């Protein structure tokens, strides 16, 4: 038996139960992993609350890092003793777990387990957002909501490295300085201002090529007023609640805009693409162009506290659980 955190009924952070659980031997294509660090991400709260319902009982979390203990039949890319990280595999809040081989990323010695658990999901998400969903380049004007958050911290730095003018929004005055340190040319406190008016002023009416919105309900539809004709609205998260249904005609009224709701699972579905994404992520970290976000640690038994802090928007950077 090992310790884990489970959800037996949907609800708030109090539904996270720290208890014993059984881990089986790995089957074909599976790896038994001794976890040393576990990533905490906003999507975990959606699974816990039932916003994105998964079958119960549930062990939440989809990101972690650790050491391979045992491999199942047919596994060829890793062996016992290898250090790995992963995302896109629900069941992470546990000391040990089974993970599909297809999602594992082997770690080099210069990448620590804690860094990997803090950055794999957010880093791969940032890679596909800036390099695949909309290819940010020199001269791009981008708006990144939650610029001091987990993805925002990486996305602002990376977009600036690619030559973009970066406008960031934050939810509290305390986060303005953090967003500027992350590479934002301009920072807007969206809770106090009509941020779309400020974007229009900052860009002299040109508006943005793309808006990356992980906030959701609180920033929509105002985000659309920040985008130039034929620009793109990228909704990749719902920190304030999901974007409600809207008439597609709104996109034509705002300038024939493109809108997408991408997921990492879709972009990294092919092994070769996942490998390329991970290679680019770790390369930009090694170069120093993008610095890893600050990491806040909680014990595995403190998962509920981590969720409360995350949902209260009191955190910056990344959260991890340490078994």
- pLDDT tens digits, 129-163: 999 999 999 999 999 999 988 899 999 999 999 99
pLDDT score for 245: 87
Q: Are 313 and 198 part of one and the same domain? A: no
pLDDT score for 192: 62
Q: Are 217 and 289 part of one and the same domain? A: no
Q: What is the CATH number of the domain that holds 184?
A: 3.40.50.720
Q: What is the CATH number of the domain that holds 308?
A: 3.90.180.10
pLDDT at 193 over 70: no
**Where a domain ends, among 210, 227, 261?**
261
Q: What percent of the chain has pLDDT over 90?
A: 84
Residue at 111 is within a domain? yes
pLDDT score for 202: 96
Residue at 129 is within a domain? no
- pLDDT tens digits, 25-65: 999 999 999 999 999 998 899 999 998 899 999 999 999 99
Q: Are 184 and 298 part of one and the same domain? A: no
Domain carrying residue 225: 138-261
pLDDT score for 242: 81
> Residue 225: pLDDT band by 50, 70, 90 thresholds?
very high
**Where a domain ends, among 261, 283, 303?**
261
SS3 sequence of the chain:
CEEEEEECCCCCHHHEEEEEECCCCCCCCEEEEEEEEEEECHHHHHHHHCCCCCCCCECCCCCEEEEEEEECCCCCCCCCCCEEEECCCCCCCECEEEEEHHHCEECCCCCCHHHHHHHHHHHHHHHHHHHHHCCCCCCCEEEECCCCCHHHHHHHHHHHHCCCEEEEEECCHHHHHHHHHCCCCEEEECCCCCHHHHHHHHCCCCCEEEEEECCCHHHCCHHHHHEEEEEEEEECCCCCCCCCCCCCHHHHHCCCCEEECCCHHHHCCCHHHHHHHHHHHHHHHHHCCCCCCCEEEEEHHHHHHHHHHHHCCCCCCEEEEEC
Residue at 78 is within a domain? yes
Quick one: average pLDDT of 292-315? 90
Q: Are 116 and 163 part of one and the same domain? A: no
Q: Are 9 and 111 part of one and the same domain? A: yes
Residues sharing a CB contact under 8 Å with residue 309, sequence separation 6 or more, in sequence order = 296, 315, 319
> Residue 318: pLDDT band by 50, 70, 90 thresholds?
confident
- Model's pTM, two decimal places? 0.90
Quick one: average pLDDT of 230-247? 89
Q: Are 64 and 321 in contact (CB under 8 A)?
A: no
Residue at 131 is within a domain? no
As for how many domains the chain has, the answer is: 2
Q: Are 93 and 35 part of one and the same domain? A: yes
């Amino acid at each position: 038996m090992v310790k884990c955190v489970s959800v037996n009924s949907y609800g708030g952070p109090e539904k996270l139960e720290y208890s014993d659980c059984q881990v089986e031997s790995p089957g074909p294509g599976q790896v038994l992993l001794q976890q040393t660090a576990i990533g905490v991400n906003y999507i975990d709260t959606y699974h816990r609350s039932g916003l994105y319902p998964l079958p119960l009982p549930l062990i939440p979390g989809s990101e972690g890092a650790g050491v391979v203990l045992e491999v199942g039949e047919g596994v060829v890319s890793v062996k016992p003793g290898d250090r790995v990280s992963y995302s896109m595999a629900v069941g992470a809040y546990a000391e040990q777990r089974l993970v599909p081989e297809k999602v594992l990323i082997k770690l080099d010695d210069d990448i620590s387990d804690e860094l990997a658990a803090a950055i794999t999901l957010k880093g791969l998400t940032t890679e596909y957002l800036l390099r695949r969903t909309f290819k940010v380049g020199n001269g791009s004007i981008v708006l990144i909501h939650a610029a001091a958050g987990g993805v925002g911290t990486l996305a602002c730095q990376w977009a600036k490295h690619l030559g973009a003018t970066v406008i960031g929004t934050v939810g509290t005055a305390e986060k303005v300085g953090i967003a500027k340190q992350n590479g934002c040319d301009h920072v807007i406190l969206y809770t106090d201002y009509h941020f779309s008016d400020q974007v229009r002023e900052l860009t002299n009416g040109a508006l943005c090529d793309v808006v990356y919105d992980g906030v959701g309900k609180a920033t929509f539809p105002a985000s659309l007023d920040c985008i130039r004709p034929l620009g793109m609205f990228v909704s990749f998260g719902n920190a304030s609640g999901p974007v409600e249904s809207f008439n597609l005609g709104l996109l034509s009224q705002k300038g024939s805009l493109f809108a997408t709701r991408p997921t990492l699972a879709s972009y990294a579905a092919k092994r070769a693409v996942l490998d390329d994404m991970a290679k680019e992520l770790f390369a930009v970290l090694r170069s120093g162009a993008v610095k890893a976000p600050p990491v806040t640690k909680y014990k595995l038994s403190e998962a509920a506290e981590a969720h409360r802090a995350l949902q209260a928007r009191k955190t910056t950077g990344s959260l991890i659980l340490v078994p």
